[in-house]
Structure 1
Amino acid sequence: MIQPSSTSLAQQLLSILNRDGDRLHRIDDYLHGRHDDPYMPPQADDEYRLLARRSVSNWMPLLVNTPGQALYVDGYRAGDETGQGSATNLSSPQWEHWQRSRLDARQSAIYKGALTYGHSFTLTERAKGTVLTKGLSALRTAALYEDPANDDTPYAALTVTAWPSGETPGTARMWDAAVEYKVTFKTPADEQSVRVAPVGRHGASECPVTRFAASVDLEGRTVGVVEPMIALQNRINQTIFDLLVAQTYASVKVRTVSGMAPPVRRDPETGEVVYDEQGNPIPLPINHNAKRFLFAEDPDVKFGSLDETPLGGFIDSIDMSIRHLSAVAQVPPHHLLGQIANLSAEALQAAETSLSRMIQEFRTVFGEAWERVFRVAAELEGAGAVDDFKGEIIWRDMEQRSLAQAADALGKLKEQLGIPAKGLWKRVPNVTQTELDEWDDLADDEDSVRQLTTALNRATPGPERELGAETAA
């Protein structure tokens, strides 16, 4: 492959941001509740437009947060020389880098960015003598791959640090396999305004930017969970708008009267009818409400009513659309509808099977990305785990199970299958890697004390042995 110039790389990366900008900003708008207006007549008044704004029922954050809240890295098991994973401990360089970068709290934003836009990025760099990893937004960052469907290492990446404002040009940082560059530009679409200046070597043998992609097809396209749901979200908003219109204008009975003339204005002195400029009597306003009755002396006057519009059909339509959203997004219906009554534990587990499979897929692809982050960090730190392709990310088990159920199941695994108790520790609900390391140390101390006690008992004769010796004598 012919290596393009740094200016050409910057132009390509900025053109990617310019090309995808409208699509990504549309996704961002839907995530934050800035949806397209539902259909309404062109002559709609302000009251209609107010109902349109109130009809937005934003389900997108729930679709992102439901799988995102089940993604939590709890440890890292480094590969040893034999290919067998060794347990992570607090002193491992990978976990020290994780804690130093404060990724316990920051990892969630990286996952949710990938789930929202289809991809997000991390940057691993040496800052003030310390190697740290931080997240980069898909709205500001682009990367180039020789094979975007299969490569996990980009040959160049760029992130915008400041967008252009007036006469002030925009600025960006760019990395290739060896050097970091500073980029300035007037607009992402103006290739002639791009200026590139090298900053220095970044210290790694490959681009230090890592892509976290929720789903990548064989064409290298990334898709999140928001974009495919926009059409269903619009359908829900339209149905809620129709419900609000019917509820506002047609949800109550309308009383009618025919053959009755309204009272007219009369001169207070003469009692004669007052006419307007066109010669028509001026009617008086009628103060009518639910506490008042209308009556007429004329027998030809007829009273009637118009029935209200039933709202049940609108409510059923909303419920159906939400169920369609649930099926397409692989989110259990009770997460969206809040209906969990009369559901057994087996039914709940079956309902969450699809969600569990989706979460497991995300863990697999995100885990590979984190393993690359650790390799890049190890190279920058000069550690010995640069080529550790046997490491494994440990994800926290977020399934809700009672401690009693877990203890019973783990006890049966130990007794019936002979699995060592130490091998089952990590399956205890909500146990952290720090606790596992502490248990390991306590178990070693306890084992040492037990061995010492056994040795002393064998070396020192007890009362029973002494009594036996005297009886024999």
Structure 2
Amino acid sequence: MAQQLLAVLNRDGARLRRIDDYLHGRHADPYMPPQADDEYRLLAHRAVSNWMPLLVSTPAQSLYVDGFRPGATGQGLPAEASSTTAEWAHWQRSRLDARQAAVYRGALTYGHAFTVTERSRAGQVRTKGLSALRTAALYEDAANDDTPYAALTVTAWPSADTTGRARLWDARHEYAVTFKSLEDKKGITVSDARRHGSSECPVTRFSASVDLEGRTVGVIEPMIALQDRINQTIFDLLLSQTYGSTKVRTVTGMAPPVQRDPETGETVLNSAGQPIPLAINHNAKRFLFAEDPDVKFGSLDETPLDGFINSVDMSIRHLAAVSQTPPHHLLGQIANLSAEALLAAEQALSRKIAEYRVGFGEAWERVFRLAAELAGHASADDYHGEVIWRDMESRSLAQAADALGKLREQLGIPARGLWRRVPGVTQNEIEDWEQHAEDEDPVGQLATALRRATPEPAARPVPAAA
């Protein structure tokens, strides 16, 4: 298994590193002639206009888990989301409020990311993210299985003086792995087997999209060709701007002034016996004139840049359409757009985010089941729980209040059932509202007091079996 997993990292390493380079602005150079000088290469370096981080950040900033609702209780009703459940306590203990964003960004960038749920040395169950550049997993059916039968993550890459180290998990045990290189199968050593405490591999895959072949694709790899086209167009724009964007003044039939000896006034000659011309200080504030009537002045027109600018604008629009990113997010053109137009422009992005939430939500539910099993809770077999995503749509509080009021009045939905629809509300705020609502309800307070004052009937003893 260690050989297979390291071989997967070796096979996918070049592709994932290329994606990582494009994310961080290390793009392929635009086309240049073979004899390009340093000035050309400097313009090629400045032509890189990196749009990739925006393609990742736009959907990632709309993915935020804000609560967890356990599955059906003994009465057959789903439990209410609460900040006191064991699942949410595990979430807070693992500091996933802040760390969940790194998991989403990794999955959107490379196509997949991983988490591992394990018990620490202090006995606490925690979940942490694993990078796709360092982690690989094996599945019997990569397209449909959510549980790998083995996974490996590299903790230290090998160098000239030290061997690489990795951690390997299967359904029951965790192993320590050392290796000399990803290609050297004979240099792999597996040791230090110990039980990790779960009934299945504790590594969970978060995939942006998985096809029926089990292949994962992020948002960057399909956009590399468009990014290269944008860089090439901007490079051509810089060339035209640098060498041809200004008018060139010309003069014919006039010799430039030459250097003269200040004492004798004779012309100074160079080593070849030719007069040395003086540099002409010419700018927009100076005029050229000549006494000879045969001298002619002229100019060469500048290169128009409108075509290059329109080509860049078109390429960015293509990028927005293919990536399902609203054009105003990339172009910054939001003037004179009505609320309906903005909503229509963001529908494609909303559908894409909804697809990501389904896949990532299933992965988080498996994480909660693994954590419950390691902690010994009964919710280890809860397949009906669901994560609650924060509403990140761009709606004003007045619009939301008007819509929620209509739902309350026209459809008769209880007010408490609509609290979670308030933009930006958190689980702690909802629980605070519930406490205030109980404090302001005298009938409810009386019922609670009577219920607490009434002793519960003693349970009947169960007769012993004959």
Q: Please tell me whether residue 380 in structure 1 is matched to residue 374 in structure 2.
A: yes
With 302-311 and 397-406 compared, the bigger mean Cα shift is at 397-406
Q: Please tell me whether residue 38 in structure 1 is matched to residue 34 in structure 2.
A: no
Among 446, 455, 458, the residue aligned to 1:452: 446
Q: Please tell me whether residue 64 in structure 1 is matched to residue 64 in structure 2.
A: no
1:150-161 alignment runs, 5 A limit: 150-161=144-155
Q: Please tell me whether residue 337 in structure 1 is matched to residue 337 in structure 2.
A: no
Between the aligned partners of 2:88 and 2:360, the Cα distance in structure 1 is 16
Kept in 1, the 8 Å contact 2:439–2:445? The answer is no
Among 394, 397, 415, the residue aligned to 2:391: 397
Cross-structure match for 1:300: 294
Between the aligned partners of 1:84 and 1:107, the Cα distance in structure 2 is 29
Cross-structure match for 1:285: 279
Between the aligned partners of 1:444 and 1:173, the Cα distance in structure 2 is 51
**What are the Cα deviations for residues 192-222 of structure 1, in whole angstroms up to 9, with x where unaligned?**
1111103310000100000000010111110
Kept in 1, the 8 Å contact 2:67–2:83? The answer is no
Cross-structure match for 1:53: 45
Gaps of 5+ in 2: 451-466
**What are the Cα deviations for residues 213-247 of structure 1, in whole angstroms up to 9, with x where unaligned?**
00101111100001111111111111111111111
1:42-441 alignment runs, 5 A limit: 42-81=34-73, 84-128=77-121, 129-441=123-435
TM-score (norm 1): 0.91
Cross-structure match for 1:466: none
With 13-22 and 42-51 compared, the bigger mean Cα shift is at 42-51
Among 22, 39, 42, the residue aligned to 2:14: 22
Kept in 1, the 8 Å contact 2:438–2:444? The answer is no
Between the aligned partners of 2:34 and 2:76, the Cα distance in structure 1 is 68
Between the aligned partners of 2:424 and 2:258, the Cα distance in structure 1 is 78
Cross-structure match for 1:465: none
Cα root mean square deviation, aligned: 1.8
Between the aligned partners of 1:274 and 1:402, the Cα distance in structure 2 is 78
Between the aligned partners of 2:111 and 2:6, the Cα distance in structure 1 is 18
Q: 1:59: Cα distance to partner?
A: 0.7
Cα 1:307–1:263 change in 2 (3 A) is: same
1:370 is matched by which residue type in structure 2? W
3-state SS of 1:151 partner: coil
Cα 1:425–1:145 change in 2 (3 A) is: same
With 229-238 and 114-123 compared, the bigger mean Cα shift is at 229-238
2:58 is matched by which residue type in structure 1? T
Kept in 2, the 8 Å contact 1:179–1:198? The answer is no
2:27 is matched by which residue type in structure 1? H
Kept in 1, the 8 Å contact 2:135–2:153? The answer is yes
Between the aligned partners of 1:116 and 1:362, the Cα distance in structure 2 is 13
Q: 1:403: Cα distance to partner?
A: 2.0
With 272-281 and 18-27 compared, the bigger mean Cα shift is at 272-281
Between the aligned partners of 1:417 and 1:18, the Cα distance in structure 2 is 58
Kept in 2, the 8 Å contact 1:83–1:390? The answer is no
Q: 1:311: Cα distance to partner?
A: 1.1
Q: 1:449: Cα distance to partner?
A: 4.3
2:92 is matched by which residue type in structure 1? Q
Cross-structure match for 1:464: none
Cα 1:99–1:285 change in 2 (3 A) is: same
1:428 is matched by which residue type in structure 2? V
TM-score (norm 2): 0.92
Between the aligned partners of 2:90 and 2:307, the Cα distance in structure 1 is 56
Kept in 1, the 8 Å contact 2:240–2:305? The answer is yes
**What are the Cα deviations for residues 443-473 of structure 1, in whole angstroms up to 9, with x where unaligned?**
34444545639x99xxxxxxxxxxxxxxxxx
**What are the Cα deviations for residues 293-327 of structure 1, in whole angstroms up to 9, with x where unaligned?**
22222222111000111111111111111100000
Between the aligned partners of 1:127 and 1:395, the Cα distance in structure 2 is 28
With 225-234 and 35-44 compared, the bigger mean Cα shift is at 35-44
The alignment covers a number of residue pairs equal to 447
3-state SS of 2:186 partner: helix
Kept in 1, the 8 Å contact 2:438–2:445? The answer is no
Cross-structure match for 1:13: 5
Cα 1:450–1:394 change in 2 (3 A) is: closer
Q: 1:441: Cα distance to partner?
A: 3.3
**What are the Cα deviations for residues 255-291 of structure 1, in whole angstroms up to 9, with x where unaligned?**
0011112223344455444443434333232222222
Between the aligned partners of 1:408 and 1:431, the Cα distance in structure 2 is 16
With 29-38 and 442-451 compared, the bigger mean Cα shift is at 442-451
1:195 is matched by which residue type in structure 2? T
Q: 1:411: Cα distance to partner?
A: 1.8
**What are the Cα deviations for residues 395-438 of structure 1, in whole angstroms up to 9, with x where unaligned?**
00011222222222212212211111121111111111112222
2:97 is matched by which residue type in structure 1? D
